[in-house]
Structure 1
């Protein structure tokens, strides 16, 4: 049985995936440094000749959830209003100038390198009224959001810059990524991202089968501050869709075409599985996590008794909606199931 997962172990597994060409591939930002006359990079040897600026890219019109939106071609100054939009931009090699964070989190999802996150200004919380002054000060060329968060706020956002919204977020993350890629004028890069993910999924399924782990029922449990019920994630959400890609089965109470279902903190039997992955959003003293872990109902679960219950990163598993987040989920699953 593998020991409890650490982020270092996940990153190590992910590094191995990268070496085999199947892990996450956030695309590089901007063109490479020009070579000097002697073949050395700029900054050593003979200075490189000045390269002419590329011609401006033509504007693009995309079919957003609420109708066509025209966006300048090749935008780089982007503000994102949700975590799926953040993953899409970062994966395609664009570090947004601004982003909204989850209200109960201290910052943006930490599965991204700190060096990139440090370049992003936090401009309010997702799902709340945008800080229009802060966003305007960043001089964005494009805003990315979704109607679930901002349906009533689109006029205010579009007064700042062209705003492209998907219908919702979560389960349709692949389709949403394609819209984000179109708005960012990076369709070709998006095709490479999709192909890399498909390779990773294929190799992961083979590894799971070879390890005899492909029949393990995976339970997804989330403790959310402000919610009286413990949330059991079903199939119509981001982590549920990644499990479906890997053909990993779910416990019966979670094997449903819905987002999630709730159960009382003292009735946790529906949370059981062969592997139980749980996370908490908000303060553990207020989201019920600390109380649940000490309760008889939790201790009675088969996964807990078998030491097959693991706490995972909430920002990654339940907020890291996108291709890079999905690669990390796969790497962690392979580790926890002994198939890495």
Structure 2
């Protein structure tokens, strides 16, 4: 197997394209931050946000009155983080995945440095940390924070989607309503459609449209290997690209759990894999050294590639999707 590709190297060119707002795939520019130009760091939070007329948003827990044009936003999952920054409103605070070293790093480091980490996704929120940021709006989902809704609404208007992952496009529209950014959302959706069209043509030109793509994730704390099916973020992006899936993963469910000694079910023409948590504890290192892994057709054909977990499996949203597609094209030699 060839050495793992560096995601930073693979995406360095695309990052410049995103920040410049132009390029061969017509990707959208990285959203201008309030009060800044281009990709410069976001401003310090204003000391006292001005009152704004409220708008009513129909979240998963009913109507919520939120301030129109809210800029002091807290996001408590990665999809909400992607939506907010994509729409030009970097949050003042965000929660990170519990076993991740920080927020998803496909965003410029200078932007992330100005976002306070307020805790881990799914943990009980820290009311002191959140209140200190004087939020006008909190975004999350019921999967993570249904049990914490009363606490959160005591801190700021809180809008939850029903879940996260597979319905990321529908959730994005709810986030756009809450952030009062409907016009910007329409532009984001149109840019993604253009990117899909151009990427599909690039895959076809490279003769890759019939390749069955396997998605494999090793998760710390799980005794099984997770084969991602269609009802999740990366699976939906592959579907948008028209790429078929191996039979065990070609199902309308989130994932198929398989034992480490049954890795044959993970095979495909192309295999992308990632680990969440420590590679010695999530089973990744053991799997890569096992006979079951070495006998996979994708591995023997040098078509098994490590990818960044914080992008492919945590980067839920339109900007994450753009980077995932660019990463995929680069790895397969179609970009």
Counterpart of 2:181 (choices 177, 186, 209) is 186
Question: Is 1:176–2:180 an aligned residue pair?
Answer: no
How many residues are paired up? 319
Cα distance change, pair 337–145 in 1 and its aligned pair in 2 (3 A): same
- Offset at 1:57? 4.9
Counterpart of 2:30 in structure 1 is 26
- Structure 1 runs of 4+ aligned residues shifted over 6 Å read none
Structure 2 counterpart of 1:294? 289
Contact between 1:61 and 1:70, CA under 8 Å: does it hold in 2? yes
Aligned ranges 1:6-85 → 2 under 5 Å? 6=6, 7-13=8-14, 15=16, 18-20=22-24, 22-30=26-34, 57-85=52-80
- Per the alignment, residue 137 of structure 1 pairs with 132
1:161 equivalent to 2:156? Answer yes
Could you tell me which runs of 5 or more consecutive residues in structure 1 were left unpaired when the two chains were aligned.
34-54
Larger Rg: 1
Secondary structure at 2:262 match in 1: coil
2:270 match: 275
Give the deviation of 1:20 after TM superposition: 3.3
TM-score by length of 1: 0.90
State the shift of 1:10 in Å: 2.2
Q: TM-score, normalised by structure 2?
A: 0.92
Contact kept in structure 2, 1:25 and 1:196, CA below 8 Å: no
Q: Deviations over 1:239-270 (max 9, x none)?
A: 00000000000010000000000111111001
Matches within 5 A, 1:157-306: 157-306=152-301
One of 60, 64, 89 as aligned partner of 2:84: 89
Structure 2 unaligned blocks of 5 or more: 38-49
Match of 1:105 in 2: 100
CA RMSD for the aligned pairs? Answer: 1.7
CA contact (8 A) 1:91 1:324 kept: yes
Pairwise CA distance, 1:151: 0.7
Q: Can you list the C-alpha shifts for 1:61-102, whole angstroms capped at 9, x where unaligned?
A: 111011010111111100010000000001111111111111
- C-alpha separation in 1, matches of 2:104 and 2:97: 9
